Amino acid sequence: MKLDRPDDRGRFGDYGGRFAPETLMPALDELERAFEKAWSDPAFVQRYHDLLTSYVGRPTPQHIAGRLSEQLGVTVILKREDLAHTGAHKINNAMGQGLLVGEMGKRRLIAETGAGQHGVATATAAAYFGLECAIYMGEKDIERQRLNVYRMRLLGAEVIPVTSGAGTLKDATNEAMREWVRSVEYTHYTIGSVVGPHPFPWIVREFQKVIGEESIVQLGGTLPDVVVACVGGGSNAAGMFYPYLDLGIDLVGVEAGGLGIETGKHGASIGAGSPGVLHGSRTYMLQDADGQVIEAHSVSAGLDYPGVGPEHSYFADQGMARYESVTDAEALDAVDLLARTEGIIPAIESAHAIAWVARERASLAGKTVLVNLSGRGDKDVEQIAQIRGLL
């Protein structure tokens, strides 16, 4: 059953909670109180929606992908988060948290980023609200998502390379949390997905559910058979799924299959992981028998993460949504497919959702499938060109 909010211990069923150093606990309490107050204040909610309309460019379009549908024999509807300001759904959350920080009187934003989209969104919010900004990004991701590094710097943010671990999203999240422990008195941690200690998973889902709410209105009374979204931490999927829960619709989250689940090189936390504690909440994660975290792998920096939001773990256990995966190769093929049939270059993250529909077209034949196109692919063009030997 759909939960409006986690219980008073920050849990969605068995998942979530607050496994954080004591230093952060008062800040998490403060954030929870500030969000509760703001989110039940019609004036705050109005300001948030006004900002989404006037600045972010919402509502984002939703339309049938005609040539793609014809080619697959499946009616594919695209929700175009790629057309939101800065090029991905991440901006919905970053602007929401930016607005909230105004209520708490902190002067600095920090964030982790994988693909760089959340980093760009946070840097944008910081510029918009006049706040200082530091973004933690793994070294490997700085390399493969360079365009977004330049964008963050143009926006006035400091980009701090993280060299620990594999130099990807998990490591950037560790480092952002450590920095928050140091600077919590004047800094807000603008977490980028539905992960982290309570109340973050709840706040980020609330700021992203506008995706699904708009989508339902835009469908004008008809409902799709299947709703599909890619899952890294799970924020675009949570925002899209939330209003579609409990309606008997097949909700499918697509995790990173990487080089194939059987190779162990993937990011399928739900599909191939087990419950544990990562980044402050209890959730499905990739780990060994001693509870050590196993590095994820994905061609897409945004899905290259060994955990997932706790609410998705709850959905998975309850059978409210199911979680599948596609490989790096399938995702890259789907970039081409969407580019050539629709004239849309998707982020490789978002291409995972398209790839699943393409692979499953036989079982989906004749159905209507709504895909959340979480972001655009400009940031990935250089990486794709490199992979294909074009650079």
Q: Which residues are known catalytic residues?
A: 90, 112, 374
Q: Does 238 bind another protein (CB under 8 A)?
A: no
**Angle, CA of 292, 294 and 298, to the nearest 5°:** 160
> Which partner from the list ligand PLP, another protein, none does 230 bind, CB cut-off 5 to 8 Å by kind?
ligand PLP
For another protein, the binding residues in 19-58 under the rule CB under 8 A are 19-27
- Grouping H, G, I as helix, E, B as strand and the rest as coil, residue 262 is helix
Site string for ligand PLP, 345-384 (x = CB under 6 A): --x-xx-----------------------xx---------
Q: Does 98 bind ligand PLP (CB under 6 A)?
A: no
Q: Does 18 bind another protein (CB under 8 A)?
A: yes
How far apart CA 186 and CA 108 sit, in angstroms, is 6
Q: Does 183 bind another protein (CB under 8 A)?
A: yes
Q: Among residues 281, 242, 198, 284, which one has the least CA distance to residue 2?
A: 242
Distance of CA 281 to the CA centre of its chain: 16
For another protein, the binding residues in 269-288 under the rule CB under 8 A are 276-280, 282, 287
For another protein, the binding residues in 140-169 under the rule CB under 8 A are 164-165
From the list 25-33, 226-234, 242-250, 288-296, the region that binds ligand PLP by CB under 6 A is 226-234
The nearer residue to another protein, 198 or 376, going by C-beta atoms, is: 198
C-alpha torsion 331→138→145→203, nearest 10: 70
Q: Among residues 242, 256, 260, 285, which one has the least CA distance to residue 372?
A: 242
Site string for another protein, 286-315 (x = CB under 8 A): -x-xxxxx----------------------
Bridge partner residues of 215 (DSSP): none
Query: What letter represents residue 28's amino acid?
Result: L
Task: Tell me which of 11, 118, 151, 266 binds ligand PLP, using CB under 6 A.
Answer: 118
Q: Does 138 bind ligand PLP (CB under 6 A)?
A: no
Q: Does 260 bind another protein (CB under 8 A)?
A: no
Q: With contact defined as beta carbons under 8 Å apart, do 153 and 159 qualify?
A: yes
Q: Among residues 360, 361, 330, 334, which one has the least CA distance to residue 347?
A: 334
Residue positions counted in the chain: 391
For ligand PLP, the binding residues in 236-255 under the rule CB under 6 A are 236-237
How far apart CA 82 and CA 364 sit, in angstroms, is 24
The nearer residue to another protein, 63 or 182, going by C-beta atoms, is: 182
Q: Does 201 bind another protein (CB under 8 A)?
A: no
Q: Among residues 341, 375, 253, which one has the least CA distance to residue 69?
A: 341
How far apart CA 4 and CA 87 sit, in angstroms, is 28
The nearer residue to ligand PLP, 122 or 287, going by C-beta atoms, is: 122
Q: Does 105 bind another protein (CB under 8 A)?
A: no
Per residue in 207-219, is it b (16+ CB within 10 Å) or e — as a string?
Answer: bbbbbbebbbeee
For residue 296, give both structure tokens: 């994820």
Q: Does 177 bind ligand PLP (CB under 6 A)?
A: no
Residues forming the site for ligand PLP (CB under 6 A): 88, 114-115, 117-118, 193, 230-237, 302-303, 347, 349-350, 374-375
Residues forming the site for another protein (CB under 8 A): 9, 17-27, 164-165, 170, 174, 177-178, 181-185, 276-280, 282, 287, 289-293
